[in-house]
Structure 1
Amino acid sequence: MLGRIFNGSGKPIDNGPPILPEAYLDISGSSINPSERTYPEEMIQTGISTIDVMNSIARGQKIPLFSAAGLPHNEIAAQICRQAGLVKRLEKGKHAEGGGEDDNFAIVFAAMGVNMETAQFFKRDFEENGSMERVTLFLNLANDPTIERIITPRIALTTAEYLAYECGKHVLVILTDMSSYADALREVSAAREEVPGRRGYPGYMYTDLATIYERAGRIEGRTGSITQIPILTMPNDA
């Protein structure tokens, strides 16, 4: 699935050959058992000095990027895709060595509720800068069904779990914009006439978000890892 572009429900939209499945996986997945987690030590570099130096990202970690309307979070997400790579933890007294460890690195990028211009920006940037070959791209447009926006991050994480735990890759998952995901939850909750919580969001929203965020990590005995960078635009920031 690397190098391919899919819509929010997982159907190819890049005019490539159809995907022939070897297995069917449950997109709901499950959170990683805390007792099975291993301590994250090795780093993923983003190529952005303020992140790598001041707020380094370890493999298996989840770290959000908070943004606001008009700020260049889409450009930052694309820049991370271009520049991201693995950093090997060295023993004391040893020197860094070049190697093929980046062959075990992959990126799963899920964009939710984006307009056509933003979707074209991501596709063009990944293809022109040569990062598409290690990226699986999911695009849910603003005019796509709301329910599709809810399953998009789950499909992306199921893909990441396959790449990490079946293929042994270290996977970076970028989810943007999680505020669009929360708005979709609110819309579905209102349609179901559920009791609203603060700002109209459903009372179970944080529990639902935890089912996404807690799928990041490293599992004892497994080679791969899943690292998450969810991007959120703050509501009512005007």
Structure 2
Amino acid sequence: MSGPVEVEYTGVRELRGPLVVVEGVSGVGWDEFATIVLDSGERRHGLVLEVDRDLAVVQVLEDTAGMNRTGTRVAFSGSPMRIPVGAGWLGRVCNGRGEPADGGPPVLGGSYEAVGGAPINPVRREPPNEPVLTGVGAVDVLTTLVRGQKLPVFSAAGLPHLELAVQIAAQATCGGEPFAVVFAGMGLTHADTAFVRDGLATRSAARELVLFLNTADDPVIERLLTPRLALTVAEHLAFTEGRHVLVVMTDMTAYSEALREVSAARGEIPARRAYPGYLYSDLASLYERCGRIRGHPGSVTILPVLTMPAGDITHPVPDLTGYITEGQIVLSADVQAAGTYPPVDPLASLSRLMRKGAGAGRTRADHPAVAAQLIAALARSRQVAELADLIGRAALSPTDLRHLDLQDAFRDRFLAQGTDEDRSLDDSLDRAWEVLLTLPRSQLGMLPADLLDTHAPPRYEER
């Protein structure tokens, strides 16, 4: 995983949680890769978190369980952690450290890249302007995902965010262009891990998928490494091999809690809700690795999934994620309670780059207008539903009643979808039209007249 070993040290001063404090070091740098050899001969790996004069703090990827201060040797490589990159990752299932979990040989590549990565030069960034279609109607029509975008899914405990993440990873396409999915699971239960592997088996067999699966009982340090491995592999597939790559990362709250645990072990001063003060910059170092580079055909698109503790959108993880990313897909417990999947709240969800990737020549000419009109109609329907709770349905006008009908039609005929149903964009847009035509023409002022004439059925005005 790294370059040749240069210097070996035996002066282990302290073992503290997942950290090893080594004394007497010289010439060791931050983020340097280390190999730790136990007195039993077992080899473990680590990264340098901090250097202070002759002391180095090393985070052990496999944890410090079973280690003794005496008899432990630490060797520093002189370079950051590197992994092989290339198409050899496609079709493989690995643990959170990149080691095979499918019974196959270690992944080999023609070159090695540093796991830490590097930010894309803003001058060379290409603006996102083409869609990634997920096969999920609510996402494709109302919050279109664009190549090079970072669009998080905000969820809560008990909601099917993992099912949605797996469905998107299994169905996403880029209109016939070379495409791959890198799925990074963090803090998953063994049942969740089996669900992910089963749900993505077809795409994995087609060599269009890379799986990194960190389970809840794996060392906490590994959870910090998993998304960085995934992004390093994705960057090479995209910018060197010319593929469009979708990186699905779930659950970023589990990642942030691992960061908090390591920060506490280091004795750092905590910030809001005991998270480290650098949580924002740490999340940004992951999210900002997506994009398109001028002169390179590929792209990296990121779909991070996070659970909001107690459904609190002001919690530090969703709050800071919202500052960095370009919109959000919000899952709703109320929609879930109504028995609808996916339980997307359309009025709380937003894709800020949707206008760049939707419309004529990209999706369909009527797409932007239909999406805008549907959101406006749903907002009015929600107001009418609140009014009906106060004064009763009998006091509503005929137009208000039609808005209540639209709300039901939206949930039943547009939003509701099977967990393995791959819905085409044309089908999704046609369903959106069917829902909109529940309303009289006077309520569809955001749709051009020629579009209404084309899609409205005969005798529409008399309905």
Query: In structure 1, what is the Cα distance between the partners aligned to 2:252 and 2:211?
Result: 16
Query: In structure 2, what is the Cα distance between the partners aligned to 1:150 and 1:157?
Result: 12
Q: Residue 129 of structure 2 aligns with which residue?
A: 41
CA-atom RMSD, angstroms? 1.1
Q: Write out per-residue CA displacement over residues 45-75 of structure 1, whole angstroms, 9 at most, x where no aligned residue.
A: 0011111111111100110000000000111
- 3-state SS in 2 of match to 1:140: strand
Percent identical pairs in the alignment equals 52
- 3-state SS in 2 of match to 1:183: helix
Query: In structure 2, what is the Cα distance between the partners aligned to 1:19 and 1:75?
Result: 28
Q: Residue 306 of structure 2 aligns with which residue?
A: 232
1:220 pairs with 2:300 = no
Q: Write out per-residue CA displacement over residues 174-229 of structure 1, whole angstroms, 9 at most, x where no aligned residue.
A: 00000000000000000001000000000000000000000000001111000000
Query: In structure 2, what is the Cα distance between the partners aligned to 1:142 and 1:15?
Result: 21
Query: Matches of residues 46-125 of structure 1 in structure 2 within 5 Å?
Result: 46-87=134-175, 101-102=176-177, 104-125=178-199
Q: Residue 98 of structure 1 aligns with which residue?
A: none
Query: In structure 2, what is the Cα distance between the partners aligned to 1:19 and 1:189?
Result: 31
For residue 269 of structure 2, what is the amino acid of its counterpart?
A: V
Query: Matches of residues 116-135 of structure 1 in structure 2 within 5 Å?
Result: 116-127=190-201, 130-132=202-204, 133=206, 134-135=208-209
Query: In structure 2, what is the Cα distance between the partners aligned to 1:199 and 1:18?
Result: 40
Q: Residue 6 of structure 1 aligns with which residue?
A: 94
1:16 pairs with 2:104 = yes
Runs of 4+ in 1 over 4 A off after TM superposition: none
Q: Residue 116 of structure 2 aligns with which residue?
A: 28
Q: CA deviation at 1:20?
A: 2.1
Q: Residue 175 of structure 1 aligns with which residue?
A: 249
| Bigger Rg, structure 1 or 2 | 2
Query: In structure 1, what is the Cα distance between the partners aligned to 2:112 and 2:174?
Result: 29
Q: Residue 191 of structure 1 aligns with which residue?
A: 265
For residue 50 of structure 1, what is the amino acid of its counterpart?
A: A
Unaligned runs of 5+ in 2: 1-88, 313-463
- 3-state SS in 2 of match to 1:25: strand
- 3-state SS in 1 of match to 2:114: coil
Range moving further from structure 2, 202-211 or 76-85: 76-85
Query: In structure 2, what is the Cα distance between the partners aligned to 1:174 and 1:18?
Result: 23
Q: Write out per-residue CA displacement over residues 59-110 of structure 1, whole angstroms, 9 at most, x where no aligned residue.
A: 00110000000000111011112211013xxxxxxxxxxxxx34x1000000
Q: CA deviation at 1:15?
A: 0.8
Q: CA deviation at 1:33?
A: 1.7
- 3-state SS in 2 of match to 1:131: helix
Q: Residue 201 of structure 1 aligns with which residue?
A: 275
Query: In structure 2, what is the Cα distance between the partners aligned to 1:225 and 1:62?
Result: 12
Q: CA deviation at 1:24?
A: 1.6
Structure with the bigger RCO (C-alpha within 8 Å, sep 6+) is 1
Query: Matches of residues 117-156 of structure 1 in structure 2 within 5 Å?
Result: 117-127=191-201, 130-132=202-204, 133=206, 134-156=208-230
For residue 40 of structure 1, what is the amino acid of its counterpart?
A: P
For residue 188 of structure 1, what is the amino acid of its counterpart?
A: V
Query: In structure 1, what is the Cα distance between the partners aligned to 2:228 and 2:179?
Result: 20
For residue 121 of structure 1, what is the amino acid of its counterpart?
A: F
- 3-state SS in 2 of match to 1:41: coil
Q: CA deviation at 1:16?
A: 1.6
For residue 146 of structure 1, what is the amino acid of its counterpart?
A: V
Query: In structure 2, what is the Cα distance between the partners aligned to 1:122 and 1:67?
Result: 18
TM-score, length basis structure 1: 0.91
- 3-state SS in 1 of match to 2:259: helix
Query: In structure 2, what is the Cα distance between the partners aligned to 1:232 and 1:76?
Result: 12
- 3-state SS in 1 of match to 2:200: helix
Range moving further from structure 2, 194-203 or 131-140: 131-140
Question: Do 2:157 and 2:310's aligned partners in 1 also have CA atoms closer than 8 Å?
Answer: no
